[in-house]
Amino acid sequence: LADCIAILDELAQAIRTDSRTDESFLVVLAGAPNAGKSSLFNAMSNGASAIVSNTPGTTRDFLESECQEDGVVFRLTDTAGYDDAAFNDAVDQAAKRHLQDLLKRADLIVRCIDRSAPAKIAPPLPPNKPVLTVLTKADLPPATTLPEHDLQVSIHQPTTLADLRRAIVRRLTERSSVSSMVPATAARCRTSLREARRALADALQLIDDRPPEELIAAELRVALDHLGEILGAVYTDDLLDRIFSRFCIGK
């Protein structure tokens, strides 16, 4: 029983470590240098400001701003422009690693492409991640050939920014029916693990006191019931009989 309690403690710690601590979504702006990410970030953010320049590679810090649309809260993050050939010093390599980490954690990636001069380079995106492809600088003359995209945006055209916000929310809420279950499921697991541990600890204490077996069995059943809530299983008297047999506290 002591070993079982230790295992439950490890599981509870793992859930605390892995569970998402805030319920806002992470939306990452990604694209080649000078793709208009920072200008778009500034237009959509509330107070945070990214340095904007025509010089590619200006952004090396990663700025974050909390945004809200139709009751949905998301954290918008501006990232360094991706150019593998330009990531050649320690700072650049650190920025590249940070970018890759953000892309892995993102709930939605907004891939920004300069409509006036689409770059051929793009950050490698993690598989199975939702991506919203946006052509920026829609107020400028377009290139002859445009890549496939979801919408076109200009920071000088407020209606396009509103369209982008709504598109972000749609993509996030498409997944929220599943994603929102994660924190709730983790909370239920924590509660069930805590109650199962308490019951096992009580059973262990009872064994030392040598009470009637029925009292020990009752605590073990409580523990099994709580574990069953996590696993979706129902335990029977036969299983309790096998447990008693293994621990030599019953038949």
Model pLDDT for residues 154-211, shown as the tens digit of each residue = 999 999 999 999 999 999 888 655 445 445 456 667 778 888 999 999 998 888 778 8
For 24-178, which CATH superfamily applies? Answer: P-loop containing nucleotide triphosphate hydrolases (3.40.50.300)
SS (H, E, C) 170-225: HHHHHHHHHHCHHHHHHHHHHHHHHHHHHHHHHHHHHHHHCCCHHHHHHHHHHHHH
Opening angle at CA 124, ends 122 and 128, nearest 5: 125
Q: What is the mean pLDDT of each run of 10 residues along the chain (251 residues)?
A: 85 62 78 90 72 46 84 88 63 77 92 88 82 95 92 96 94 67 59 88 85 87 85 59 54 40
Backbone angles phi, psi at 236, to 5 degrees: -115, 175
b/e string for 210-248 if b means 16 or more Cβ within 10 A?
A: eeeeeebbbbbbbbbbbbebbeeeebeeeebeebbeeee
Count how many Cα atoms sit within 13 Å of the Cα of residue 24 in the half-sphere of its side chain.
15
Identify residue 69 by its one-letter amino acid code: E
Q: Where in the chain is the domain with CATH 3.40.50.300?
A: 24-178
What pLDDT does 250 receive?
44
What was the pLDDT predicted at 116?
A: 92
Closest CA to 31 of 20, 21, 41: 41
pLDDT for 68 equals 86
Q: Which helix (H) or strand (E) holds 2?
A: helix 2-18
At residue 181, the pLDDT reads 45
pLDDT value of residue 176: 58
**What pLDDT was estimated at residue 93?**
72
Q: Which residue has the tokens 């019951």?
A: 199
Q: How far is CA 97 from CA 75, 188, 237, in A?
A: 20, 34, 54
Pairing verdict, β 72-78 and 63-69: antiparallel
pLDDT at 154: 96
Beta pairing class for 108-114 and 25-31: parallel
Report the pLDDT value the prediction gives residue 90, as an integer from 0 to 100.
67
